[in-house]
Amino acid sequence: MTDLLQKLPAPPRPPNSAEPATVARHVQSARTIMEILFGPPAIRAFSVRYPDGSLESAGAPTPLFTLALKRAGSLSRMFWPPSERNVGEAYLRDDYDIEGNLEAAAGLADLLIDRFSSPQILLQLALVMRTLPRNDHTADDQTVTPEFQSSGLEVAAPTSLDGGHTTSGSAHSKARDAEVIRYHYDVGNDFYALWLDARMVYSCAYFPEGTEDLDAAQEAKLEHLCRKLRLKPGEHLLDIGCGWGGLIIYAAQRYGVFATGVTLSEAQASLARERIRAAGLEDRVKVEVRDYRDLGLGEGEARYDKIVSVGMFEHVGRANLQAYVQQVYRLLRPGGLFLNHGIVVVEAAVPPGAVEQLARLVFRQKTFMHQYVFPDGELVYTHEVLAHAERLGFETRDIESLREHYAMTLRHWVKRLEDHHAEAVSSVGETGYRVWRFYMGGCAWAFSTGRIGLSQMLFSKPGGRSSLPLSRADLYRPSPSAPEKR
């Protein structure tokens, strides 16, 4: 990912030099397309700025955002052929911008899926799209970022864009998992520090009151996890996918545990170790660059009292889910607790009809995410995790949805990223900034509308005392003071 994102974009393109009559025809075609897809301006909640500078105001008194079209052919590359990836790649190319609330813009997806399910609308669009240029990017187009200019491809064809990540080897093999994790997480610690909290916790925060800032909400999440695990001084905690070490450091400081974290990212491990040393916890906390599948009982590792996995099992894959749960079961002592915190699919209450299923297939949802953000990422249903866990012998003790909390977390991240636009561009380039803004804004909408969810699932392993109380009251008592080291 670093190779793709490290270059800076060139200066803005000079004004459109096409003949006035041609510009007027293209703008009129663009207006027609917008009306076909989104209705007349009077019913829209957003404004549109066309390439000639004209503004089509929203019907709402306060527009949620402005869609700024940069070129005559922007809409043809965004929406034809219909695909989520084309919309995303057009944004990366600066064919358009979203000025304002990106989450609200992502909410147009449902309307687009509905429109693209209609053969009549598809025919209308095809006829109008033919009047727009597909190739109005030129060789010296100053808005195309250097990585695209140097690709040797026709930049007007989004489907051939030479970007994102090309994986090698078998999906979810150890080598390929390490490769895709490095692609996502080794972008640069400085980049993540721009928009994460002080502890750099890259997972859903917890907002007990809803008014917390990001730092307070992430600390509340760490406390919530530790309380659910009922951590006690002297226990051994394993964190699978420990990131930059926020949870294991917190658990050692506040609960007096011995903690081990594993990650596949060298960049994360390096900073986590620095933070462990700075906290004086080297005798209690360690981080290893290691695949969780390589943790074995025959290599000197003790059985863990508690195991936690936060925002990691999305990378496991449905085919490997049973092996993942089985490995955790093997490493956990009898009576121990396992807390799995991750993003899940939320099953629709009403199954989609045949036309809608076809439209969703045509629209190719999630392909942008797989290409540019999380190669090999795969979400599963909560009930699939429960089934595998209980089949292996785990007892389900607690399930909590934090879906709304993740939407709030993502809004904080997007706002902080936007506030540090210049620094982000210096770190990962304009294209990289746009990848992250597009993906996080879209995810905020998906969580807020229930397309995806966040489940915390607590399991106990039979064979010993789980030490769980009779109620959940202990989760909500005032925070305890930090224990003395043992």
User: Which residues are catalytically annotated?
Assistant: 443
Report residue 371: phi and psi, to 5°.
-80, -40
Residue 91's nearest CA partner among 102, 40, 81 is 102
Identify the DSSP state of 313: G
Q: Which residues contact 83 (CB under 8 A, 6 or more apart)?
A: 362, 363, 364, 367
188: left (phi over 0), alpha (psi -120 to 50) or beta: left
In which residue are the tokens 């620095």 written?
274
Task: Provide the token pair at 176.
Answer: 């390929």
Check if the beta carbon of residue 79 is closer than 8 Å to that of residue 111.
no
Phi, psi of 307 (to 5 degrees): -130, 140
Question: What letter would DSSP give residue 464?
Answer: S
Nearest to 440 by CA among 105, 144, 79: 105
CA 137 to CA 148: how far, in whole Å?
11
First-to-final CA distance of the chain = 43
- Alpha-carbon span 429 to 146, nearest angstrom: 10
DSSP 120-153: HHHHHHHHHHTTS-S----TT-TTS-HHHHTT-S
Q: Are 218 and 199 in contact (CB under 8 A)?
A: yes
Q: In whole angstroms, what is the distance from residue 341 CA to residue 314 CA?
A: 10
Measure Cα distances from 319 to 212, 326, 381, 485 in Å.
38, 13, 13, 42
Other Cβ atoms less than 10 A from the Cβ of 27: the count is 18
Return the axis-axis angle of helices 20-38 and 109-116, rounded to nearest 10°. Answer: 90
List the structure tokens of 336: 């121990």
| Orientation angle between helical segments 214-228 and 246-255, nearest 10 degrees | 60
The rounded Cα 124 to chain-centroid distance in angstroms is: 34
Q: Hey, what are 194's tokens?
A: 């721009």
Place of tokens 């808005």: 143
> Which tokens is 342 given?
């991750």
| Nearest to 75, CA basis, from 88, 63, 90, 57 | 90
